[in-house]
Amino acid sequence: MDHLPPVWLLLTAFPAVTLAYMVFAMAGFGAVFITAPSLAQVMPVAQVVPVLSLVDFGAAAINGTALWKKVALDELKFLVPLMIIGSILGIYLLLIIPARPMMLALGVFVFCYALYALFMPTSTGTISRIWILPFGLLGGVFSGMFGSGGFIYVIYLMRRTADKDVIRATQGALISLSTATRIVIFFFVGVYANLQILWLALACVPAMLLGTWLGHHVTLRISREVFLRTICWLLLVAGGSLVLRAELM
């Protein structure tokens, strides 16, 4: 059947998605930074983001929000409208920008995030609520364009509270709502009329389940911090390869 994804695409997706959701299970976000650079090598970014949105929604539904009572509703009620507005803008840009500059933008985005995660010192002190405006909008734009604005929200929340459970719970709620928003928008603009996107998302579910299980239940020989730093170095390579590939197109 023409709409079924080819075997070579599945072979590319399965290990990337498995590793991505190991990271997601350990860090609470960041799956797209592993999966998107791999899939963007073999398919347009405008198709990658809708696929990963469906898989992310499944992961969020399975993981749930175990600490839902800790969700910072006073932050969420402002972040969600800003996230929706930013997501609409991000998806609009995703659908109108040609493949080459989108690949270049994704590569730069992933590369810069890896540099930030590796070398930026941990911020201290509390910032004003007014900062919710740029962080909320920017997180939504990145969510719409690249499928992940989670680290933007984490940066903001870490400067608003020191309670790690509050950060995790609020971040989990934001990821669920952000993913659902993207799926609804993609549905209404007709992106999911492409059945290959739906079939590829469905084919990625076993890899997502395996990665989530490994992240939660397998005891790694290295610490969480060393594991995540290793992932960041891999992201530098992945982001750099996307930039190079875009320049050679």
DSSP secondary structure letters along 90-107: HHHHHHHS-HHHHHHHHH
Q: Is residue 181 part of a domain?
A: yes
Q: Is residue 2 part of a domain?
A: no
Q: Is residue 11 part of a domain?
A: yes
Rg (CA), the chain: 17
Least Cα distance to 148 among 94, 227, 74, 212 occurs for 94
What's the residue count for the chain?
249
Q: Is residue 150 part of a domain?
A: yes
For the question of whether the overall pTM of this predicted structure is more than 0.95, the answer is no
Least Cα distance to 86 among 166, 153, 37 occurs for 153
Q: Is residue 182 part of a domain?
A: yes
User: What pLDDT is attached to residue 62?
Assistant: 66
Report the 10 Å Cβ neighbour count for 190: 9
| Total domain count, the chain | 1
- Domain around 94: 7-248
* Residues ≥6 apart with Cβ < 8 Å to 71: 65, 166, 169, 170, 172, 173
Residue 104: which pLDDT band, with cuts at 50, 70 and 90? confident
Q: Is residue 85 part of a domain?
A: yes
Q: What is the mean pLDDT of the chain?
A: 79
Q: Is residue 19 part of a domain?
A: yes
